[in-house]
C-alpha cells in the first residue's frame, strides 16, 4: 500500500460552546480521509459540516480531539511544514504590498531579496496580476486578494496544497484561469 501524502484517521474534533463552556459540540466525528500523492480531492458539504475544521487539522493548526494525522507516513506534530494553506478569509498582511506579501514566505525561508522578488513577480504574472505588485490589499478586489494569496502559497512549492473555498471571490473568467493554473501544477 502506498504512503498517503496526507492521512486523517478517525478524526473527531469537539469544542466548547462559546456561550456555555460546559456545553460541548462535535464539528467532525470519526472521519477518515486518505489523500495520495498527486491526487486532487475536494471535500464538499453544507455550511458548518466541518470542512474547514478538517483542513485546519491537516495543516496542523488544530489538534484533533481523537484520531491521528500523518504526512507522507510520519505522524504530524505541530504545523504541517509540507503543506501550503490558503485560508477561507483574507490572510494577507495589510501593511505589505502584493509583491511583499507574495515574497514573505521566501524571505522567512532565507531566500535572498532579489531572487525572492523575481519569483514573486513571476507568480503575480501567473495569477494574472502582473503590474499590481505595488498595490496594497485594501486597493485590490476580493478576487485579486485571493489571487495574491494563491501566489503567496504556491511560490513555496509545497508538497501538499490545502485550500479553503479558494474560488469563492473570483469571477467566472478568473476562476477558470486559476483552475487551469492549479491543474497545470
- The string of pLDDT tens digits covering residues 77-133 is 999 999 999 888 878 999 999 999 999 999 999 999 999 999 999 999 998 899 999
pLDDT at 25: 85
Q: What is the pLDDT of residues 18-71, one digit of tens each?
A: 777 778 888 999 999 999 998 989 888 888 889 999 999 999 999 999 999 999
Query: Vertex 107, ends 155 and 88: CA angle to 5°?
Result: 50
pLDDT at 24: 87
pLDDT at 1: 63
Q: How far apart are CA 120 and CA 99, in angstroms?
A: 6
Q: How far apart are CA 7 and CA 64, in angstroms?
A: 13
Q: How far apart are CA 35 and CA 82, in angstroms?
A: 14
Q: What is the pLDDT of residues 140-184, one digit of tens each?
A: 988 889 889 989 999 999 999 999 887 776 778 877 877 777 777
pLDDT at 183: 75
Q: How far apart are CA 182 and CA 170, in angstroms?
A: 14
Domains and CATH numbers, the chain: 6-81 (3.40.50.300), 98-184 (3.40.50.300)
24: region left, alpha or beta (phi > 0 left; psi from -120 to 50 alpha):
beta
Residue entry with cell 486578494? 145
User: Using 50, 70 and 90 to split pLDDT, how confident is the model at 17?
Assistant: confident
User: Using 50, 70 and 90 to split pLDDT, how confident is the model at 185?
Assistant: low
Supply the DSSP symbol for 76: P
* Residue of 79, 130, 128, 131 whose CA lies nearest to 105: 79
Q: How far apart are CA 66 and CA 69, in angstroms?
A: 10
Q: Which residues sit opposite 14 in a β-bridge?
A: 26
Amino acid at each position: 500500500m502506498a504512503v498517503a501524502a496526507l492521512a486523517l484517521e478517525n478524526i473527531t474534533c469537539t469544542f466548547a460552546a462559546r456561550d456555555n463552556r460546559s456545553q460541548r459540540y462535535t464539528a467532525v466525528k470519526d472521519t477518515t480521509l486518505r489523500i495520495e500523492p498527486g491526487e486532487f480531492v475536494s471535500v464538499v458539504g453544507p455550511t458548518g459540516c466541518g470542512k474547514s475544521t478538517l483542513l485546519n487539522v491537516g495543516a496542523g493548526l488544530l489538534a484533533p480531539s481523537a484520531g491521528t494525522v500523518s504526512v507522507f507516513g510520519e505522524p504530524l506534530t505541530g504545523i504541517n511544514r509540507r503543506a501550503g494553506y490558503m485560508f477561507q478569509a483574507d490572510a494577507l498582511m495589510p501593511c505589505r504590498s502584493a509583491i511583499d506579501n507574495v515574497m514573505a514566505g521566501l524571505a522567512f525561508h532565507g531566500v535572498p531579496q532579489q531572487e525572492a522578488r523575481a519569483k514573486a513577480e513571476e507568480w503575480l504574472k501567473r495569477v494574472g496580476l502582473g503590474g499590481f505588485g505595488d498595490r496594497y490589499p485594501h486597493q485590490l478586489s476580493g478576487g485579486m486578494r485571493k489571487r495574491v494569496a494563491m501566489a503567496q502559497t504556491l511560490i513555496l512549492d509545497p508538497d501538499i496544497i490545502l485550500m479553503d473555498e479558494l474560488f469563492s471571490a473570483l469571477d467566472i473568467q478568473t476562476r477558470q484561469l486559476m483552475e487551469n493554473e492549479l491543474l497545470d501544477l
